Amino acid sequence: MIAVFSRAGREELTARTLALLAAAGASTSDRVLWWSGEVDPPVIPSSWRVDWRRGPPRGPVADWFEFIKTAAGRGDLHVFEDDVIPCRNLIPYIERTPVEWFTTYFNPWGAPVGRAFELRGGLGFDCSQAISIPARLVDRLAAAPDYAGPLGHDCIMSRLLASWNEPVLWDRTLVQHVAGNSSNGRRREFWLRDGKWVGADFDALTIPTRQAAPGVWTGGYFLGVRPAVDLRSRPRPGARMRRW
């Protein structure tokens, strides 16, 4: 399944992203806008459908895991946030590529491309702009206990993957993150955009089909990767959050 995850208040961003994805190559998968809130979703391309959770806002983390629950039992899941620009033929590239591990197509940390990386020694994943989740992990994430706390859904998934000894595979940056209002209110400029993005005119189908890497990369820290956030952590007293 191909999905865009969004909520009320982000209609313009969502409509733009849907239009770009509809133009980013033909798809053989079910294409879904998962929408949360009491406001009508934007007009969607004819090849897409809406899965609408009607009701008052509950927050992006609660919405994310409800979305994951609706995707359980439906095979591999390919998810885009509502504020990205894809390169050409990104969807057919993703669909033709085997999904063995949790995979991200936004790689501002400069992680080794095409190698599955074991989340250990404090290294974490928190870039969910465009990801693929194999069916086995969709089902496992859907069964995870609810979490109430300050962390985003990406950091929560990182901790869960680490606890399950599930690696993450970084592809190159095939989407660009658009400046705009964050769904969780945070501003993190140092990975808001990736200067290594291949560009909107790059054809993803020119990338050789990825084969399963022989083993999992468990080397030391690589430049740009930061420690994972502990689920027990809380903002420091007096800490300021920049919002945009």
Cα 236 from chain centre: 27
pLDDT at 113: 87
- 25-82 residue pLDDT tens: 888 889 999 999 999 999 999 989 999 999 887 888 999 999 999 999 999 999 999 9
pLDDT at 6: 95
Instruction: Decide which of 3.30.230.10, 3.90.1150.10, 3.40.50.1100, 3.90.550.10 is the CATH code for 2-206.
Output: 3.90.550.10
DSSP β-ladder status, 102-104 and 168-170: parallel
Question: Where along the chain do its domains lie?
Answer: 2-206
What is the torsion angle, in degrees rounded to the nearest 10, for the CA atoms of residue 142, residue 147, residue 149 and residue 152? -10
**How open is the CA angle 196-198-199, to the nearest 5 degrees?**
115
- Indicate left, alpha or beta for 90 from its phi (over 0: left) and psi (-120 to 50: alpha): alpha
pLDDT at 217: 55
Which portions of the chain are predicted below pLDDT 50? Answer: 181, 183-184, 190, 214, 219-244
Q: For the chain, how far is it from start to end, CA to CA, in angstroms?
A: 31
In what side-by-side order are the strands of the sheet with 116-117? Answer: 49-53, 31-36, 2-7, 77-81, 130-133, 102-104, 168-170, 116-117
Q: How far apart are CA 226 and CA 171, in angstroms?
A: 18
The helix/strand/coil state of 123 is strand
Q: 194 is written with which tokens?
A: 């990736």
E strands of 105-238, at which residues?
Answer: 116-117, 130-133, 168-170, 175-177
pLDDT at 180: 53
